[in-house]
Structure 1
Amino acid sequence: MNLDSKIAIVTGASSGIGAEFSRMLVKNGSEVYGLARSKDKLQELQKELGDAFHPVTMDVTEADKLEKWVDQTFGRKHQPDILINNAGIMRSANVEDLSLDEWHNMINVNLNGIFYLTRLIVPLMKANKNTCHIINIASIAGLLGNPTISGYNASKFGVRGFSEALFKELRYDAIKVTCVFPGSIDTELFSKIEGIENHPNMMKTTDISSTVKFLLETDDNYLINEITMRPLNPKNPNEKE
């Protein structure tokens, strides 16, 4: 895919890798609709990126509002080529200390939100004459379980299963589906896990966005449906052994 003049949707676009995806896409000529709950952060990003970035204040768990926005924004003459489902939250606690609200919020944002938006975008992509691409951002936590993040694990394992089924469902409609499994990234998300502090050996947001750029720019009949990314040395270099 040539990213120039493509129409992209990025969720969780106001910070972290979502903001970096938006920068990468705009830099390469795409028009980006960036969805997030933080209106202020989205507006700051628009000041940086210009008119090619459209800030959309939206909670991906609100299915009715998503449907209304999609209906008002896209149509036969304005179809999305790229969907990056990136919005995600993490709560860290032992299972007996994890509240029902925390569990439900992770499932709703990390898994249900992907379904709510994807089901609306797929028909538009099927009508698109171009090869399209859906990228679901999971996590290494979608492959390996770890103590204190059981809810996050459950939601990201779900993203992997959804992505695998979707890839097989849409491959003959010229719609690629890729599930991305990053390890530790230097963002706010990882700083919320008990016992983990951000450090220089974590991956950079630009590491992830450059990999997603490569995935998007592959030839139309070439698909990488899953990709795992890790720091080579994940240890904090500031810690004394």
Structure 2
Amino acid sequence: MDITSKIAIVTGASSGIGAAFSQALVDKGATVYGLARSTDKLQRLQQNLGKQFHPVPLDITDHEAIDAWIQQTFNETLEPDILINNAGLGRFANVENLPLEDWEAMINTNLSGIFYMCRKVVPLMKDNENTCHIINIASIAGKVGNPQLSGYNASKFGVRGFSEALFKELRYDKIKVSCFYPGSIQTGFFSNANDSESHANMMQPEDVARVLINVLETPDNFLINAITMRPLNPKHPEEL
């Protein structure tokens, strides 16, 4: 795909790898609709990225709001080419201590939100004459279960299964589907993790964004449907 002049949607765009994805896409000439709940963060990001970035304050767990925004924004002359389902959150505890609201927040955001986006964007992509691409951001936690991550693991294993099915469902409609399984990235995500903190030996958001661009720029009949990425040395620098 030649990203220049393409229309991209990025969820969870206001910070972390979502902001890095938005930056990388704008740098390549794409127009980016960045979705997130934080209006202030989106507006600050727009100040940095310019007019090619369109801030969209939206909660992806609200399927009615998604439906309304898609209907208002896109039409036969403005069709999305790229969908990056990046929004996600983690809440960590032993299963008996995990609050119901934390479980529901992870399932609704990490898994249902992807379905809500895809069910409305896929028909538009099917009408698009160009080859389109959906990238779902799972996690290494979508492949390996760990203690105190039962809810997060469940949501990300769900993303894995959804992505695998969707890739097979859409491949003959000129719609690529890729699922990313990143390990630890130096973002604010770990502020919610027990006994964990962000550090410089984690992957950097800009490096993950470069992988995203590389995957998007593959030839139209070439698909990387799954990719796992990790820091080579994940230990905190103070442990070395």
TM-score bin (small chain): over 0.9
Determine the structure 2 residue equivalent to 1:155.
155
**Which moves more between the two structures, 230-239 or 40-49?**
230-239
Determine the structure 2 residue equivalent to 1:36.
36
Determine the structure 2 residue equivalent to 1:75.
75
Pairwise mapping of residues 156-175 of structure 1 onto structure 2 (< 5 A)?
A: 156-175=156-175
Shift of 1:186: 0.3
User: For the aligned residues, what is the CA RMSD?
Assistant: 0.7
For normalisation by structure 1, the TM-score amounts to 0.99
Q: Counterpart amino acid of 1:151?
A: G
Could you list the runs of 5+ residues in structure 2 that have no partner in the other structure?
none
Could you list the runs of 5+ residues in structure 1 that have no partner in the other structure?
none
Shift of 1:190: 2.2
Percent identical? 65
Q: Counterpart amino acid of 2:28?
A: N
Q: Secondary structure at the match of 1:77?
A: coil
Q: Counterpart amino acid of 1:238?
A: E
Determine the structure 1 residue equivalent to 2:12.
12
Shift of 1:197: 1.4
Determine the structure 2 residue equivalent to 1:92.
92
Determine the structure 2 residue equivalent to 1:197.
197
Q: Counterpart amino acid of 1:196?
A: S
For normalisation by structure 2, the TM-score amounts to 0.99
- Give the Cα–Cα distance (whole angstroms) in 1 for the partners of residues 59 and 94 of structure 2: 27
Q: Counterpart amino acid of 1:73?
A: T
User: For residues 45-64 of structure 1, what are the alpha-carbon distances to aligned partners after superposition, in whole Å with 9 as ceiling and x for unaligned?
Assistant: 00001110000000000000
Shift of 1:191: 3.0
User: For residues 167-218 of structure 1, what are the alpha-carbon distances to aligned partners after superposition, in whole Å with 9 as ceiling and x for unaligned?
Assistant: 0000000000000000000011123211111111100001110000000000
User: For residues 133-167 of structure 1, what are the alpha-carbon distances to aligned partners after superposition, in whole Å with 9 as ceiling and x for unaligned?
Assistant: 00000000000001111100000000000000000
Aligned length: 240
Q: Counterpart amino acid of 1:98?
A: L
Determine the structure 2 residue equivalent to 1:183.
183
Displaced runs of 4+ in structure 1, greater than 3 A? none
- Give the Cα–Cα distance (whole angstroms) in 1 for the partners of residues 188 and 26 of structure 2: 23
**Which moves more between the two structures, 12-21 or 195-204?**
195-204
Q: Counterpart amino acid of 1:125?
A: M
